[in-house]
Amino acid sequence: MRRSYGESGLSEVEAASDPIVQFSIWLKEAAANPIVVEANAMVLSTIDSSGPSSRTVLLKDVTQAGFSFFTNYQSNKGQAIAFNPRVSLLFPWYAMERQIIIRGRATKLSREESDDYFATRPWGSQIGAWASEQSHDLESREHLQNRFDEFAALYPEGSSVPTPPHWGGYLVTPSSVEFWQGRYSRLHDRLIYTTSPDGWHLSRLHP
C-alpha cells in the first residue's frame, strides 16, 4: 500500500488568497481528471448526542457564501445538524494525492432555493424523495416500492412534483479550509485558511 507522492506541491505563493477561489481551481481539476470518480462527492461529518457520524453527499454549489448540498431534513444527518450545526466536509481526491477539509456551520437553504433545485431533478428522483423516509427503519424493499408507486400515482410523470416539506438544502459557511497535497518523503503540503476579523488568514501546518 505504500506509495511515494509527487513533486508538484502547493505553495503560499501560488495559492489563491481566497479559499473559495482555490477550492474552485482544485474542483475543476478534479472534475476534469478521468481517474477521479465523483469529484463533487464529499464526506459530511456531524455530531449528535451519541457521537460523530459520517456519510457521503454531493456538493451541488459553491459560492462565496459556502458549500451546499441537498438531503432529507428528517434523516440522521438532518437531526444531527439540528442538534449541532458545526460540521466538516472532506473531499478525498486520492487519485490526485489531494484532500480538502472544510469546517463550518450548516444552515438550511431557503424554501425557494430548495424548490428551484428540486424542480431540476429527474422525475424518478423527485418521487424517490417523497417515498424515502431516509435513515428510518424500512421493513422491506417492497414497502419502499409501494410507497414509490403511491407517490408516482399522485404525481404522474410529466406533472409538476412539489418539493417534500422534509427535503431541502443546507449551506455550509466555512470557518476553515485545509488543502493537502501529497509530497515526497511524507513532506506533504498542508495550507489552511482560517477566518479572522480581517478576512482569510493563510498558514501552513506540519504534515
Of 58, 119, 138, 205, which lies in the binding site for ligand FMN, with binding defined by CB under 6 A?
A: 58
Of 16, 25, 27, 57, which lies in the binding site for ligand FMN, with binding defined by CB under 6 A?
A: 57
Whether residue 127 contacts residue 167, with contact meaning beta carbons closer than 8 Å, is answered with no
* CB of residue 44 to ligand FMN, shortest distance in Å: 8
- φ, ψ of residue 36 in degrees (nearest 5): -95, 120
What is the C-alpha separation between 123 and 135, in angstroms, rounded? 22
Site for ligand FMN in 67-126 (CB under 6 A): 69-72, 75-77
The reply to whether 21 sits near ligand FMN by the rule CB under 6 A is no
What is the C-alpha separation between 50 and 200, in angstroms, rounded? 33
Whether residue 6 contacts residue 184, with contact meaning beta carbons closer than 8 Å, is answered with yes
The reply to whether 38 sits near ligand FMN by the rule CB under 6 A is yes
Of 12, 21, 52, 55, which lies in the binding site for ligand FMN, with binding defined by CB under 6 A?
A: 55
Residue 204 appears among annotated catalytic residues: no
The reply to whether 135 sits near ligand FMN by the rule CB under 6 A is yes
Q: Three-state DSSP class for 129? A: helix
- Among candidates 127, 57, 123, 126, which has minimal Cα distance to 88? 57
Catalytic positions are 186
Q: Can you give the binding site for ligand FMN, defined by CB under 6 A?
A: 38, 41, 53, 55-58, 69-72, 75-77, 134-135
